[in-house]
Structure 1
């Protein structure tokens, strides 16, 4: 029996999934420790219920696709509207270097995924799903690209696989980040400040931090953390700022819709959500740089986070878990290989190129977090390290900016190039 739900009932179910997820995350320590998002926690339970209903009684559900697409596009528009390239100047050369390091890793992640998928007899496009789509990209990118791969490329189960891989990435990224940083810090000869503080170490690091802090205030670092890494914090927004921000979202989505039509069947044809992200970037930087417009980031952040939560809830409700049964073995092999790649890259490349110092070790832990999972996982990794050793203002300035929006722009560009390759 097939049951179709309109937009009202789809929205009601999505909000119930979010409430369930909030309850589970607060009650189950594992979910909280590994930063599993509330939509994922509640959505996976809902997907299992839908799976049981299908297997036992033959029920299948069709949810309102338009609402899911709209929330997805709003989420990616929010990334673009937050991507202020003026902040590149604030981060300085370390921000640029770290962005390049992350970009190279995304390419390696996709090469490994595609190569192993082909070797294991899977569609090479599924290699992208087990690469940067779901790992560096996270649940939002996994859901968006999953829909694109299913509808435009005929890859069955791409969305379901993407959500599963992204969930694995959150857990794996949270597990490996701390040990990698601790190993690197041990090489530097530093000891935990709580156990045996070393005055010379503290003095050395304090002098290094002060050079950075003269350029970047505590308030700026705190502001970045507040905006991007704590979606549940209260935002002081007004009705007028919300309306202004919604107008910007509408413009970004209109741009995405127009460009999707204009670029159809041309060499620069892109998924609509990529155009939404690009539209947000263009709007943001044109308004701020040319017209000196004061963007209300808090309202953009709230709308973007709410859109992502609703999109994930609806995407998880629509999962068809039975499509994963034949993929479990090969996908697990690929994911274990991706985990080894992340550990090796963070240890030997990220640490070395970011200066081989304490800040570089903390940045390596952060890279493990969003290279496998998401920016909140990266922040949790770094907090676990800095709570045990010393603060790292440099890491807490760079990682939120790269992980919150620059990495999504780079990832979308790289993925678009990969999908156009002749062997895909």
Structure 2
């Protein structure tokens, strides 16, 4: 029995499973400990129900995904407004080093693709979904690029990428603490061995959420999305394939810095609220549409690929991040944070660093600078680097 549902019904079901995801996460400590996103949980519940229907040949559901792409573009456009050159300058040399390391990490994760793909026997573009797309980018970036790759003929790109991203969210939290512990004990570090403290203004705390601020922010996002579609159209004329959300992301970043220059205050809190709502709907809709049964034949190649990425991340944190960041206590804490970034998300990074500082003492610079730098740089440079690799490997 095939059930076809319309757009309104699809959105309603998506919200229901989003609420189911919230309820499950509130009751399962493991999901909270490893920061598994609520939309991922709810979407997987629906996808598992569809798996039962497929395996028993009893039922299937056809969703109307017409608005999924719009929610995706809205989220990344909202993210673009976080890119403030003025704020980045305040992080000084520490911020600059982290910025370089973040871009380097993205590049190296993708550089492993042509080496690992022949080893595990899958095509390079599918292997790319298990590099920075899912490892550093997480479910959001994977869900955005997956359909682009599938349109190019890469089967199961979204499914493989989102599965890898879920693995990363868990593993990124697991390896961060042990990496920091190893560095601290081996080098006999203490919380007194840190650099000069950096302080950033928390402009979000001054923002007010009300009907006017949310409406104004929504209009700004929609206008940026519209202009962004024109930018993507122009970029595609170059012969390179660019995902639809890149235009809105770049336009938003340019607009943010233009507003900063003109001393026009944006309500970043309201923009983030709208972006988070769009992300939740985008992710739950994307994951609800996954055909999990297609993953069975890819299990072994995926395990090998993800283990290689994990070992690389550990080595990068110990031998590169720690050394570049100054070989002190701050550097050890940030190494644990970068494990969360490279295999999960910024939330994993913060959780890793908080766990380390609770055991070994405070590291103000790590907690202040790393989340700001990596979240902004990943949002801006990850799609560019992924796009370059897509066009090189196709």
Indicate the TM-score class for this superposition, using the shorter chain for normalisation.
over 0.9
1-side partners of 2:325 and 2:129: how far apart? 28
Query: What is the aligned partner in structure 2 of residue 399 from structure 1?
Result: 370
2-side partners of 1:48 and 1:162: how far apart? 17
Query: What is the aligned partner in structure 1 of residue 300 from structure 2?
Result: 329
Query: What is the aligned partner in structure 2 of residue 120 from structure 1?
Result: 120
Query: What is the aligned partner in structure 2 of residue 136 from structure 1?
Result: 136
Cα shift at 1:58: 4.5
Q: Tell whether the 8 Å contact from 1:78 to 1:301 is kept in structure 2 after alignment.
A: yes
Question: What SS does the aligned partner of 2:236 have?
Answer: coil
Cα shift at 1:282: 1.4
Cα shift at 1:101: 0.9
Write out aligned runs for 1:88-237 (5 A).
88-151=88-151, 153-190=152-189, 201=190, 204-205=192-193, 208=194, 211-213=196-198, 216=199, 220=201, 223=202, 236-237=208-209
Tell which deviates more after alignment, 371-380 or 396-405: 396-405
Q: Tell whether the 8 Å contact from 2:232 to 2:246 is kept in structure 1 after alignment.
A: no
1-side partners of 2:382 and 2:236: how far apart? 21
Write out aligned runs for 1:15-34 (5 A).
15-34=15-34
Tell which deviates more after alignment, 245-254 or 269-278: 269-278
- Residue ranges of structure 1 left out of the alignment (5+ in a row): 191-200, 228-234
Say whether 1:281 aligns with 2:281.
no
Tell which deviates more after alignment, 373-382 or 391-400: 391-400
Say whether 1:246 aligns with 2:218.
yes
Cα shift at 1:339: 0.4
Q: Which of 245, 249, 262 is 2:234 aligned to? A: 262
Q: Tell whether the 8 Å contact from 2:135 to 2:344 is kept in structure 1 after alignment.
A: yes
Cα shift at 1:262: 3.2
Aligned length, in residue pairs:
393
Q: Tell whether the 8 Å contact from 1:51 to 1:321 is kept in structure 2 after alignment.
A: yes
Query: What is the aligned partner in structure 2 of residue 51 from structure 1?
Result: 51
Query: What is the aligned partner in structure 2 of residue 63 from structure 1?
Result: 63
1-side partners of 2:123 and 2:187: how far apart? 44
2-side partners of 1:136 and 1:380: how far apart? 16
Question: What SS does the aligned partner of 2:3 have?
Answer: strand
2-side partners of 1:236 and 1:31: how far apart? 31
TM-score (norm 2): 0.95
Q: Tell whether the 8 Å contact from 1:51 to 1:322 is kept in structure 2 after alignment.
A: yes
Cα shift at 1:121: 2.1
2-side partners of 1:269 and 1:159: how far apart? 17
2-side partners of 1:263 and 1:103: how far apart? 22
Say whether 1:305 aligns with 2:304.
no
Query: What is the aligned partner in structure 2 of residue 320 from structure 1?
Result: 291
Cα shift at 1:268: 5.1
Question: What SS does the aligned partner of 1:133 have?
Answer: coil
- Residue ranges of structure 2 left out of the alignment (5+ in a row): none
Query: What is the aligned partner in structure 2 of residue 198 from structure 1?
Result: none
2-side partners of 1:2 and 1:403: how far apart? 44
